[in-house]
Amino acid sequence: MTADKPDLGTLEERAGVEIAAAGDLHELTAVRARYLGKKGSVAALLRSIGELEPSERGRVGQEANAAKQRIEAAAAARKGDLERAGREQVLASQRLDVSLRGTATRTGHLHPITHVTRDMVQFFTSLGFSIEEGPEIETEYNNFEALNIPADHPARDEQDTFYLDDGRLLRTHTSNVQIRVMAGRKPPFRFIAPGRVYRHDLSPRHSPMFHQIEGFLVDERVTFGDLKGVLYGFGRHLMGRDIELRFRSNHFPFTEPSAEMDYACVLCDKQGCAACSQHGWMEWGGCGMIHPKVLERCEIDPDRYQGFAFGMGIDRTAMLRYGIPQLRHLFEGDVRVLEQI
Amino acid sequence: MRVSLDWLAEWIELPGDEELSERLNLGGFEDAEIETSGPDLSAVVVGHVKECGPHPNADRLSFCKVDTGSGELVEVVCGAPNVSEGQKIAFASVGSRLPDGTKLKKTKIRGIVSRGMICSARELGLSEEHDGILVLDSEAPVGTPLPEVISVGDRTLEFGITPNRGDVTSLLGVAREVHALIGGEPTPPETEPPETGAPASEAVSVAIAAAEDCHHYAARVVRGVRVGPSPDHVVRRLEAAGIRSINNVVDATNWVLLEFGQPLHAFDLATLHGGRVEVRRAAAGEKLACLDGETRELDPSDLVICDAERPIALAGVMGGADSEVGEKTRDILIESAHFHPTVVRLTARRHGLQTEASYRFERGVDREGVLRAADRVARLIVEWAGGEVASGVVAARGAEPVVTREIDLDVARANRLLGTEIEVAEARALLARVGVECREIGPGVLTGSVPSHRNDLHVHQDLTEEVARVYGYDRIPTTLPTAELHPVAEPTTWQLGERVRDEFVAAGLSEAICLPFVPLGDSDALRLAADDPRRSQRTIVNPLKEEEPLLRTTLAPSLLRLAQQNLSRQIDAVALFEISSVFLPRSSEAGGAEPLAAAAVLSEPQEAALWNRKNPIPLFFRAKGVAERLLIQAGYVALWRGQTESPYLHPGASATIEVGGHVVGTVGEIHPEVAANFALDVPCALIELDLGRLEAQPRRAKEFHEVSRQPAARRDLAVLLGDDLAAGDVLAAIEQAGGADLQSVELFDRYAGKGVPEGRVSLAFRLAFQKMDRALTEKEVSKSVDRIVRMLSHRFGGELR
């Protein structure tokens, strides 16, 4: 309590200045105690009310209490400001280098072949084709004879074959699945057979192992036109847009008529580019109507039933989709490559 | 096959290059393409000499201004006497390259800058002429690349032949296809020879002993030839087809081979013994010195041409050296014959030969073409080498070849196969274009007679293909099949494989695909026991690489090699998996010899992580964690057992995985010896799963369990136990002893060392108790904990710490 007893207005004004000047919470607490504490100025002032005329007491008391509340509010507001400022300061000091990499669990990557195979399978299962698999070690019969490729026929030269010591071979195409599936099944049916196949060939454009998907549908009425329709749909699904297909006459012993199919290069729109070797077209696979002799060998009456079959490489589609320049990248298992896709 | 385009143009009228190659391509000529051999003149353009005057400082030079289509006139100095204003000329600008390799630069000639060159034919590599610049047609458009306005080299048509189409391996065959697919009428050359000499039958007789193997054999005799070089155009055209010129007689046989597709052979008549030619199987032990300089041992599967004493040629494959036509040859015998395709193929294959002749015989030669070719070649020999053609042909016939002569085609059936509505008359016309003449034997049913050169047509579907091919596959309407709807089925192992792929990827591993070929030493490198079934690898008899003749029985070596290769590329840590069939020995016909396997390799990270963990997860547990989660997610309940006997895993850091009472795989760190064998200097762990076996095991369906809303009571328990105890067993025992309220128990610390007696280890468990309907009392929790402590003490000799 001061000797000269400042009046209420002066007191409140001084308190306001000191509260505003409090630089931190500690100072503010001190200022608050000085004015609002039990021994503070306001308390002293209130205590001195008793010394006033009774008629004055009520008015002065009210004014003093109002002033006290205003000082309280000012102190609280200042406290809020100081706390906010303190928080800001802490936050400012806690700035992370957000350019550092996040620490999410490392993600694995499916192989490009798996991605493309799944995509292909998805399309055909949506059309009701079931999946079939066959062995990779196959008999000559299932790989060749049953598919109308007789022994000692030049067609055998086209498929450089790996032979095993027991006379079996590594299948040169997934068409062996056709034979295994059709034999003993009654049409109508439709299947796809994705899988690995082998050719005795190693060059920048070839790998001794690669992937094919085979598809076939046998029914009483199924036409070459239907085959075209399914393949157009397939192409659209794979490339994500309408594509132009071209069917070239060709010869496969197990289909008649047979065709080789190309799609208009999706990179250059038939203008010719490095990807399509300047041809404007990319080879996609072979297809045709299943040869009556193949149906006969599987005990399906070729006068009643007919069917289409097609087969294409999966690897090239994967290369095209991801811009992989060489086949070898797919089978070298380089983590730096695998983790890109 | 390659054939000179100019030569083909003599046989049939050709459309533009692009149309020709495209139509042939669509019609079945694989990769038909027209190639231009000759200098690359694509940088040389047509120029127009706008001004031409004398060079101010040189009498013999001219100074010209040339319009090259660039918009500005180019100033050049020209030394040729024949340059003049208004000419269209071949202009090479600064920066372009001439065929001889020189790159043109801006030069100053007698004080005047010349920016390019007006070229002569010689400078362009087009001819040896050098009397001045090449003057082009006055209509040639300025600025056009030169190859578009003049022919700058030999053009050849190149295409692939499918094995069924032996009939297109000749100019005649290609011309027939041009007729069928594009139009025009083939005009074959004259074949009839001028017969002036004594009858051929006086010089030679022909006999066929192997009647099934040789259907027709014709011999012609030409006397008094002068063997020498062939005319230039003959050499060029043979070369364009990839055949080396030998002499005018041999070249004539090859020329006719290219014309008609009929292989021919010329013998030096003087070398034939006994004036007799016989076609027979070789006797065992006979030998033949062939034209390629090698002497071959023959056996009865070989078909040979013999004179009265010995073999003189491998029929349909290659002639003999003794009877070769050379400079001194005066009289020759020409062979034109039709051999069985399979016999020729077997003979050629047995001797590792493929010749122009065997290539054609294997694919089928026109059985009616023997005499035509014999005539034609005699005519050409006289034309090129002189001499006299003996009158008559000496010929013999063997068995009639088995051929299809007629095929019936129901046009409606063809339409049903194709999805077209081709009229009967149109089908008939389309077939006529490929030489199949038809007559209608009933409503809509045609009988087509198969021409003798088409040995590939047998069934009505073959005719349907011919109809479609000429009609155009692009004109067949595109439709979609209508068929019964059946639910789609996926093989169960396929499904599991896909599932496992996703789980590995979710665990941070990437998928690799390896070739299945492995080297001989893998079984030893993996320390496989002598009786380990994985030692029985299947062998490839013709491996691509001699050192990798085996098929893998386990994915382990492939993944270890991948780990090594990637680590050698300084990859921080390897986390790879593969899912693939492995090849086990065939135990029975029933199969199971190619089970689907899954394997993964993980390596210890090499670089300190930025967020340094003080207590990194041991490699084994990282691998086990991957396998554990995978199995749980796929619905399998697995039992883990230590002390695997896997020869390539660390005995103390590996476990076998049992599901449904069967071992379905292993997890473990690599045995140090094996690691060394695979040059792995970083610790690695391997997971292997037999998906075939796993798939056969029962799976637990996922099921809902109610969750409690009551607070859980947690208690930590540190227990001293023998350090040889399996913590997993202790955990299982606690779970059992904890009662219904024990919600979870977790091992959160394992400590041995100061304060823990030798041979003991301190295991700290965190227990959580909870009830569904109410909070547990302190008393209830203590009772449960006491029960657990008693059990630990009683069963494992554990004491509270």
Query: Where are chain A's structural domains?
Result: 8-93, 112-338
Number of neighbouring beta carbons within 10 Å of residue B50? 14
Q: Is A205 on the interface with B (CB under 8 A)?
A: no
For residue B150, name the pLDDT band (cuts at 50, 70, 90). confident
User: Do residues B394 and B219 make contact, with C-beta atoms less than 8 angstroms apart?
Assistant: yes
Q: Is A132 on the interface with B (CB under 8 A)?
A: yes
Give the three-class secondary structure for A243.
Answer: coil
Best of A121, A199, A224 to disrupt the B interface (most B CBs within 10 Å) is A224
Number of neighbouring beta carbons within 10 Å of residue A181? 20
Average pLDDT of span A41-62: 83
Show the DSSP H helices in B116-247 as ranges. 171-181, 232-240
Please give the torsion angle defined by the CA atoms of residues B5, B9, B15 and B20, in that order, rounded to the nearest 10 degrees: -40
Q: Which of residues 441-460 of B touch A (CB under 8 A)?
A: 456, 459
Q: Rounded distance, CA A245 to CA B370, Å?
A: 42
Whether B417 sits inside 8 A of A217 (CB atoms) is no
Residue A54 has pLDDT above 90, yes or no: no
For residue B122, name the pLDDT band (cuts at 50, 70, 90). confident
Beta carbons within 8 Å of A39's beta carbon, 6+ residues apart: none
Beta carbons within 8 Å of B153's beta carbon, 6+ residues apart: B36, B37, B38, B39
Q: Which residues pair with B690 in a beta bridge?
A: B597
For residue B500, name the pLDDT band (cuts at 50, 70, 90). very high
For residue B587, name the pLDDT band (cuts at 50, 70, 90). low
Axis crossing angle, helix B356-363 with helix B341-350, rounded to the nearest 10: 140
What's CA B189's distance to the chain center, in Å? 39
Least confident range from A108-117, B62-71, B549-558, B657-666: namely B62-71
User: Do residues B241 and B3 make contact, with C-beta atoms less than 8 angstroms apart?
Assistant: yes
Q: How far is B472 from chain A (nearest CA, A)?
A: 9
In the block, tokens 């965190």 appear at B766
Whether A226 sits inside 8 A of B481 (CB atoms) is yes
Average pLDDT of span B721-735: 90
Q: Rounded distance, CA B360 to CA B363, Å?
A: 5
User: Average per-residue pLDDT in chain A?
Assistant: 89
pLDDT above 90 covers a percentage of chain B that reads: 72
pLDDT of residue B590: 42
For residue B128, name the pLDDT band (cuts at 50, 70, 90). low
pLDDT of residue A2: 42
- Single out the residue of B294, B701, B455 nearest to residue A153, CA to CA: B455
pLDDT tens string A137-187: 999 999 999 888 888 777 776 668 999 988 899 999 998 998 888 888 899
Q: Rounded distance, CA B730 to CA B747, Å?
A: 10
From the list A188, A225, A292, the residue facing B484 with the nearest CB is A188
Residue A308 has pLDDT above 90, yes or no: yes
Q: How far is B274 from chain A (nearest CA, A)?
A: 35
pLDDT tens string B451-472: 999 999 999 999 999 999 999 9
Q: Rounded distance, CA B28 to CA B551, Å?
A: 38
Q: How far is B507 from chain A (nearest CA, A)?
A: 7
Axis crossing angle, helix A224-239 with helix B411-418, rounded to the nearest 10: 10
DSSP annotation of B458 reads -
Average pLDDT of span B706-712: 90
Q: Which two tokens stand for residue A246?
A: 């071209």
Which residues in chain B have Cβ-Cβ distances shorter than 8 Å to A165? Answer: 538-541
The answer to whether the bond into B651 is cis (omega within 30° of 0) is no
Please provide the DSSP assignment of A119-136 as one string: HHHHHHHHTTPEE----S
User: Do residues A42 and A71 make contact, with C-beta atoms less than 8 angstroms apart?
Assistant: yes
Characterise B224 by phi-psi region: left (phi > 0), alpha (psi -120 to 50), beta (else): left
Pairing of strands B2-4, B155-160: antiparallel
Q: Rounded distance, CA B570 to CA B561, Å?
A: 14
Taking CA–CA distances from B160, the nearest residue in chain A reads A250
Q: Rounded distance, CA B123 to CA B121, Å?
A: 6
Q: Rounded distance, CA B474 to CA A246, Å?
A: 7
Whether A249 sits inside 8 A of B459 (CB atoms) is no
Q: Rounded distance, CA B151 to CA B148, Å?
A: 8
Average pLDDT of span A62-82: 90
User: Do residues B470 and A299 make contact, with C-beta atoms less than 8 angstroms apart?
Assistant: no
Q: Which of residues 220-259 of A touch B (CB under 8 A)?
A: 221-226, 228-230, 232-233, 246-251, 253, 256-259
pLDDT of residue A205: 78
- Looking at domain A112-338, its CATH architecture is 2-Layer Sandwich (3.30)
Residue B482 has pLDDT above 80, yes or no: yes
For residue B681, the number of C-alpha atoms closer than 13 Å in the C-beta half-sphere is: 5
Query: The complex's ipTM?
Result: 0.83
B406-410 β-sheet, strand order: B406-410, B445-449, B437-442
pLDDT tens string B286-301: 999 999 999 999 999 9
Q: Is A103 on the interface with B (CB under 8 A)?
A: yes
User: Do residues B435 and B451 make contact, with C-beta atoms less than 8 angstroms apart?
Assistant: yes
Residue B591 has pLDDT above 50, yes or no: no
The amino acid present at A247, given as its one-letter code, is: F
Whether A108 sits inside 8 A of B569 (CB atoms) is no
User: Do residues B644 and B656 make contact, with C-beta atoms less than 8 angstroms apart?
Assistant: yes
Q: Which residues pair with B447 in a beta bridge?
A: B408, B439
Beta carbons within 8 Å of A265's beta carbon, 6+ residues apart: A271, A272, A273, A275, A276, A279, A280, A281, A282
Whether A164 sits inside 8 A of B346 (CB atoms) is no
Q: Which of residues 556-615 of B touch A (CB under 8 A)?
A: 562, 565-566, 569, 571, 574-577, 580-581, 583, 586, 591, 593-594, 610-611
Q: Is B492 on the interface with A (CB under 8 A)?
A: no
Whether A223 sits inside 8 A of B593 (CB atoms) is no
Q: Which two tokens stand for residue B274?
A: 């006994």
Q: pTM here?
A: 0.81
pLDDT above 70 covers a percentage of chain B that reads: 97
Give the three-class secondary structure for B30.
Answer: strand
Q: Rounded distance, CA B662 to CA B638, Å?
A: 10
Q: Which two tokens stand for residue B504?
A: 């590995």
Number of neighbouring beta carbons within 10 Å of residue B373? 27
pLDDT tens string B744-766: 999 999 888 888 999 999 999 99
pLDDT of residue A269: 83
Which residues in chain A have Cβ-Cβ distances shorter than 8 Å to B30? Answer: 248, 250, 260
Long-range contacts of B106-109 (CB under 8 A, 24+ apart): B109/B55, B109/B58, B109/B61, B109/B77
Sign of CA dihedral B122, B128, B132, B138: negative
pLDDT tens string B409-418: 999 999 999 9
pLDDT of residue B297: 95
Q: Which two tokens stand for residue B171?
A: 């100019």
From the list B416, B476, B586, the residue facing A228 with the nearest CB is B476
Q: How far is CA A218 from CA A298, A309, B486, in A?
A: 12, 9, 13
Q: Is B25 on the interface with A (CB under 8 A)?
A: yes
pLDDT of residue A3: 43
pLDDT tens string B599-611: 999 998 876 666 6
Q: Rounded distance, CA B169 to CA B156, Å?
A: 14
Residue A216 has pLDDT above 80, yes or no: yes
Q: How far is A333 from chain B (nearest CA, A)?
A: 5
Element at A26 (helix H, strand E): helix A25-36
Please provide the DSSP assignment of B632-686 as one string: HHTT--EEEEES---TTEEEEEEEEEEETTEEEEEEEEEPHHHHHHTT--S-EEE
pLDDT tens string B212-271: 999 999 999 999 999 999 998 898 889 888 899 999 999 999 999 999 999 999 999 999
Please give the torsion angle defined by the CA atoms of residues B341, B347, B349 and B352, in that order, rounded to the nearest 10 degrees: -140
Which residues in chain B have Cβ-Cβ distances shorter than 8 Å to A228? Answer: 476, 478-479
From the list A108, A131, A217, the residue facing B575 with the nearest CB is A108
pLDDT tens string B63-112: 999 999 888 889 999 888 888 899 999 999 888 888 777 888 888 888 88
Please provide the DSSP assignment of B123-142 as one string: TTTS-S--SSBPEEPTTPPT
Q: What is the largest CA-CA distance in chain A?
A: 134
